[in-house]
Amino acid sequence: MESTELARKFTSMFGGQPAIFSAPGRVNLIGEHTDYNDGFVMPSAIGMRTAVAISRSSEAKLRIHSQDFRQSFEFDSDNLPQQATGAWCDYVLGIAVALQQSGHAPKGANLFVQSEIPIGAGLSSSAAIEVASALALLSLNNASLPLEEVARLCQRTENTFIGARVGIMDQFVSCLGKAGHALLLDCRSLDFEFIPIPGTVKLVICNTMVKHQHAGGEYNRRREECEEGVRILSKWYPGIRALRDISIDQLVQHSQDIPPTIYKRCRHVVEENRRVRDAAACLRAGDLNGFGRLMRESHRSLRDLYEVSCRELDIMAEVAEGIPGYYGGRMTGGGFGGCTLNLVAAKNATAFAEQISSRYQQAVGIKPAVYICSADDGARLESSART
């Protein structure tokens, strides 16, 4: 992303010189729908970023402009709306409200947002705008919070202000991702480890270009089903707090005591946690075929047990099979549309992208977008304000 160009646009809109912060989108290698079950995930930040240019304003106003929506909003800083407005600016506004509540919000600020992350594709454009805005707003107060805290604040904002009951994965990796690495995160303790991704592979992200409308409601329903599973299982295991605390043997023992749908959801989560740890071992050992096998298993489980895939994602996963250089792949993110992630030998990545694109288009009738990515760094200051 070109900082000089963004600074120029900022200056022509607001005057003055901004500081610029950016935060990346993410792709999840494995560990889907485990974060809100206190489990394990393994995302990477990617090279598509959202940048927020900011400067202090002498008026008590919060002004937010989006280059992509070509739209501006203005709020009275002393009287920020305490509820979402329903517009894209809620991601910035919600962060400003959360920072105000914790005594970190500046009085007046001008913000100019520009993003490279496709919206609604499941690549966490919302986490990126939240994180970049949080760092930008904090900088005006000369305040700094540990990045783990920034991630939590952004997740809280998404839960309470936006109303999406998401887990911590997206915000965490947008804050702390590291180029060339996957981030193995324990979503209960927030302990994490960076595992190098060999330079011989690329993360090829294939966007189905569909997003099914019911996605948000189904997401919240899956969470409730997992919570119901914990309530039922705690009759036999009173100490458990989340599905994280259950082993596959314990679950299987009670397969007859749990309604079939709830059982399937629990089974996915418990086995997916196992897969993340196995996948981490594969990556540490450089076993890309083993990693790819686990990705395929994860996809099948999301399709058949957790039921968050869709026809287009299944087709995208199927048509990848047999293309040279393909180690494995799966749907990534919340599901019901969005993207698959494919682990592909770097030397085959361009040809893979072409082939999967034409196979998918032939099967579905929609031209997909394919992005050849590598793991990138988390949020950062792009340029300080020149005075």
Residues that bind ligand GLA (CB under 6 A): 32-33, 35-36, 166-167, 169-170, 333-334
Q: How far apart are CA 339 and CA 377, in angstroms?
A: 21
Q: What's the token pair of residue 84? A: 């979402």
Our CB check for ligand GLA shows the closer of 306 and 326 to be 306
- 304 included as an active-site residue: no
* Residue 369 vs residues 1, 73, 335, 340, 354: alpha-carbon distances, Å: 19, 31, 17, 11, 10
Q: Are 51 and 6 in contact (CB under 8 A)?
A: yes
How far apart are CB 334 and ligand GLA at their closest, in Å?
3
Buried b (16+ CB within 10 A) or exposed e, 123-149: bbbbbbbbbbbbbbbbbbeeeebebee
Nearer to ligand GLA, 19 or 46 (CB): 46
**Which residues sit opposite 207 in a β-bridge?**
339, 369
Closest CB 284 distance from ligand GLA, rounded Å? 22
In the bound state with ligand GLA, the residue whose beta carbon lies nearer, of 33 and 303, is 33
- Sequence letter at residue 104: H
Question: CB of 320: closest distance to ligand GLA in angstroms?
Answer: 20
CB of residue 241 vs ligand GLA: minimum separation in angstroms?
17
Number of H helices, E strands in the chain: 11, 12
Between 42 and 140, whose beta carbon lies closer to ligand GLA?
42
What's the Rg (C-alpha) of the chain? 21
Tracing tokens 């989340």 back to the chain, one arrives at 242
Catalytic residue among 170, 245, 249, 376: 170
Measure Cα distances from 132 to 12, 111, 207 in Å: 21, 11, 24
Beta strands in the chain (DSSP E): 19-30, 40-56, 61-66, 71-76, 109-115, 181-186, 192-196, 201-211, 326-332, 337-345, 369-373, 380-383
Query: Which of 119, 252 has the CB closer to ligand GLA?
Result: 119
Cα separations (Å) of 6 from 82, 91, 385? 30, 20, 12
Pull the structure tokens for residue 203. 């993360």
Q: How far apart are CA 221 and CA 230, in angstroms?
A: 14
Nearer to ligand GLA, 24 or 333 (CB): 333
Cβ distance to ligand GLA smaller for residue 107 or 165: 165
The catalytic residues are: 170
